[in-house]
Each structure stands twice: as structure tokens, then as C-alpha cells.
Structure 1
């Protein structure tokens, strides 16, 4: 009985990835595919799909392809280390996204305040200055504020 072989389109559909992803994984040595003798198209046997499903599993967890190099020879400890590194990367991205969410909230609040000021009659050509302080450009502690909180510095006067 001939083994069932799957073309790249079916294999990709079963794995939930794009055919280009399977080709990439093959170039990186993560998966293997046989070739049809008649047309040289990729063909995947069931055991190839099982191997590829493990790669797909770790990729869905966010483990980078470079961490899965030599997958067949990786120990459980190697895989756990890769998961640890991926978890740290995820935590860093979460922190960056939370900081971005806070900046978005601050900007939205500023936009709302600008609308209130505009509704109260304030126009860009006639600003109200509540306080004017000189900025010491030689002070390096101010530069992060100018970048991270530009709304705090509405008027710059070069005197």
C-alpha cells in the first residue's frame, strides 16, 4: 500500500500556515519534504506533517525560527531555554505596549483638552501662557522629557 502524500497546499492548510512558510522552514532545515518524481513538486508524508506540526506549535508560542534550528536534535532543556527567552521577549513587548497605551491615553486627554480650549474661544493665533520658564539645553535630563513628553513644551523662544 502506497503511503498517502500531501502537496504543499494541503500540508499548509492542515498545519494552519502559508505554503511560503513551509518552504521557508524547509530552507532553514526545520522540515523535510519529498519530491514528486514526475513534476518535482514537494510532497509531505504523514511523519513529515507530524514534525512540521511541532514546529508550528512552537512558532505559535512565539519561539523564533532561529531558536528552533536543529530542532530534531534539541533536548527538552534546550526547548525550555528557548521558551524562557521567548517569555522574556513577550514580557518586554508587553511593557512596551503598556507604555504606548499610556502615551496614547495622555495624548487623547490632551486632544480632549485642546477641543475644550477651542470651544472656549482659544485660538492658535492667540495662545494663553500660564507660565514661561527658560530651558537649560545643557541639562541632559531634559532631553528625554522633550522626546517623551513634548506636550509639556508648547513654546520655544530662542533669545
Structure 2
């Protein structure tokens, strides 16, 4: 099936100019053109666009994505390098997700903390809570904020 640049852009949630840029940069070298010069994206082109979007979102630069796309064109001889690239990106994304989860945990803890302070009318009521009175799901975030030693007060940095 053939897709227009507008259809592909809509499916990917990007501007048509982004797809033109990808083509200019050599990321999509095989996009067919109609007799009138309009781009006609194939299912394979659409899949390539999705992979490009994934790699871009994972933190690769356009130059790195171009190198990957060049490997695809080279064929099976580059399979080990492509596999390694995806393993590295996967590990990087897993690391980033762990870091983001820790940030989310702190935000959830601080939300709970301030909800309790607002309800009590004072932050002192929450700051004085012993660790066993902090909900279990928030204890690791509280410990993270208190540092490895855990010696700092609960509300040391409000």
C-alpha cells in the first residue's frame, strides 16, 4: 500500500517537514515518487519511520540513526552490529526508566507528605512522624531523600 506524506506524518504524530528532513538526511533513501513527484511511502517505509522514531526517542542522534539505516542497507553482514545497537539502547532505556521511577517515587512521597501537612495544618506534624508511620510505598523515597545514612529528618528539605 502507498501512503502520502500527510498520512505517514499523521500516523507517526510528526510534521511532514520531519519526514522530508529524514529523507534529506538519508534516513529514508528508498521512498518512491509518483510521476508528479509526490512521495509514496510503502509499508516498509512506514516501518522504517517507526524504527527511526523509536531510535530518536531512545536518545540516538540523527547521525547515529543514519549509521544504523546504512547498516540495514548493507544487509545481513551488519546483523551483529545492529543487535548490539539495540541491546545498548535497551539497557540505556532501562537505566533511564529506573531513574525516572525513582523521581516519580519521590514526587509521590512528597505529594503524600504535603497532603498530610495540609490536613494537619502544619508541616511539623508530618516531619515528626516516625518511619513506621510513613506508608510502606513511600519509605524508599523518604530514605533516598534522607541519604544513605538515613540520619536526616523526614522534612529536612520541604
What 5-or-longer segments of structure 1 have no aligned partner?
131-143
Q: 1:73 aligned to 67, 71, 74, which one?
A: 71
Task: Provide the C-alpha distance between the structure 1 equivalents of 2:89 and 2:51, rounded to a whole number of angstroms.
Answer: 10
**Which is helix-richer, 1 or 2?**
2
TM-score, scaled relative to structure 1:
0.56
Please report the RMSD computed on the Cα atoms of aligned residues, expressed in angstroms. 4.0
Contact conserved, 1:8 with 1:19, CA < 8 A, in 2? yes
Would the alpha carbon gap of residues 51 and 90 (structure 1) be closer, same or farther in structure 2, given more than 3 Å must change? same
Residues matched between the structures, number: 126
Task: Provide the C-alpha distance between the structure 2 equivalents of 1:34 and 1:28, rounded to a whole number of angstroms.
Answer: 16
Would the alpha carbon gap of residues 12 and 49 (structure 1) be closer, same or farther in structure 2, given more than 3 Å must change? farther
- Equivalent residue, structure 2, for 1:141: none
Post-superposition CA distance 1:74-130 (Å, at most 9, x none)? 422222122112101211221122101210121012112212321xxx5x8xx7897
Contact conserved, 1:5 with 1:44, CA < 8 A, in 2? no
Task: Provide the C-alpha distance between the structure 2 equivalents of 1:13 and 1:154, rounded to a whole number of angstroms.
Answer: 45
Contact conserved, 2:25 with 2:66, CA < 8 A, in 1? yes
TM-score, scaled relative to structure 2:
0.56
Q: Is 1:109 aligned to residue 112 of structure 2?
A: yes
Q: 2:18 aligned to 11, 18, 21, which one?
A: 21
Post-superposition CA distance 1:17-63 (Å, at most 9, x none)? 5412211211221113466786xxx5334xx6355234223235445
Q: Is 1:58 aligned to residue 61 of structure 2?
A: no
Contact conserved, 1:28 with 1:69, CA < 8 A, in 2? yes
